Amino acid sequence: MRELSIFIDESGDFGPYEKHSPFYIVGLVFHDQSDSISGHLDGIHDGLVARGLPIDHAIHAGPLIRREQEYRWMDVPARRAIFRLLMDFVHRCEIRQHSLVLNKREVGEIDRLVSLMSRDMGALIRDNYEYFSSWDRIVIYYDNGQKELTNIVNSAFNSQLSTVEVRKVVPSDYSLFQAADLCCTLELLRSKINSVGLSSSERDFFATEKRSAEQALKRLYFKTLDRKRFGS
């Protein structure tokens, strides 16, 4: 039986536009269950333990960049090393990713935000219907973070496909869910570069002696993300 796993995460919320939350982004990571990732998981687990974190630690890209939560005691090199662990995992795995991005300043009302995300999610399935319908089974993993997205995912997939199951996920249980979080974060950074600009913590995290944060992101991270783009 051919099974497709789709891991979904989001950046932002369905609230009104605010300076700290200018975009709403949904990231999807697609994985053919017949492609084993166990060897790549060993690399993440070994790297986490070497840096004093539990083997089942869930890497959260946003707090990692901003030096929040469990990363508040780590300096920039240590946090960059953890970020690279997840980035290398994405690079090595046979996965594809896709992001749906909405600018909340342009969207306006919350109801319109929900409507547009529903439209875009449905269009993704319709435009790639031959691909999605070729699978015997599709399992979607989402942490039910926001009820609006839970409803959108269920409606969009189940209205067009008959082989879909949606499961609630605990992020620490699936590194591919953490990969979806990473993809969301990188698409958010790309959107910010093209509009409002990066925050000081984002610039401090990605800038190097030779490159600005914007240059480093484009050369070292966005290229990998684009090579993994769904449909490419």
pLDDT for 109 equals 82
pLDDT tens profile 130-176: 999 999 999 999 987 789 999 999 999 999 999 999 998 887 788 89
Tell me the pLDDT band of 87, cut-offs 50, 70 and 90: very high
Q: Enter the tokens of residue 33.
A: 């269950």
- Pairwise CA distance, residues 42 & 63, whole Å: 23
pLDDT tens profile 176-227: 999 999 999 999 999 999 999 999 999 999 999 999 999 999 999 999 999 9
- Pairwise CA distance, residues 54 & 42, whole Å: 13
Residue 7 pairs in a beta bridge with: 29, 141
Cβ-based neighbours of 145, under 8 Å, separated by 6 or more: 9, 10
pLDDT tens profile 45-72: 999 999 889 998 999 999 999 999 889 9
pLDDT for 108 equals 79
User: Quick one: how far is CA 138 from the chain centroid?
Assistant: 19
| pLDDT at residue 232 is higher than 70 | no
- Domain residue extents for the chain: 3-227
Count how many residues are written for the chain: 232
- Pairwise CA distance, residues 169 & 140, whole Å: 9
> Maximum distance among all alpha carbons in the chain?
52
Please name the CATH architecture into which domain 3-227 falls.
2-Layer Sandwich (3.30)
Report the predicted TM-score, pTM, of the whole model to 2 decimal places.
0.94
| pLDDT at residue 97 is higher than 90 | yes
pLDDT for 71 equals 93
